[in-house]
Chains A and B, each alone.
Chain A
């Protein structure tokens, strides 16, 4: 067992599950989407990204790319949430909420790709 692989797989899967957990629910209903979950998803995603730094293989490069895409989507979602809450009005509008969740869903797609790549890599590993 390779401990590095364990940590790596753990963070990638955790990022995907947290992201999924955040996205599930009605798209424009703020009650269905927890800001804590978004925060956790961002943190775990960032950690997963940094873990992929310095991997020189082709697979590592693709993993890094998908992670960066997920980061981008999630951070954009967080910025929209913050701006619409404090910049526009006190309560988040359903319209803004829909934007937040759709960005997070985009990130989810990237995260799923990451998981698929991880599975592919594991399967092709001949040990």
Chain B
């Protein structure tokens, strides 16, 4: 009985961890206090758990959660509603289609796979904002954000990997 309760708690933790880290990423990235004084755009922290668990645990990071995290990002960033939601859904579509290939990458290739996925989200957001305002915004801030996101993903993927092995991974029952 005690063992069953422990397994239930573990499953609950493994279920909420990917989305919880996504929400944490949105909060951190949109907290309006920056160490760098707001000189550069903050990384898309939310995209890191979205990409990782959207690739290896799509049962936990579903398209609905990609959409919901995008709405949350839109809400806190102050931008027009729906832009990042659509961007994350588009990126999730790419991840979903290329899951086997992306999950097989390692080393620099894994970073490149993440960069391509993040680029697809940024391009989608850029095009939508261009249509939204009927005026193309400058590319540089978006490229800076993309570069920061990829740069921060390198240390973040180790942390996410540890969390996946210790919290999310051991409780998988799908294999």
- Answer whether A and B are interacting partners: no
- Residues of chain A whose beta carbon lies under 8 Å from any beta carbon of chain B: none
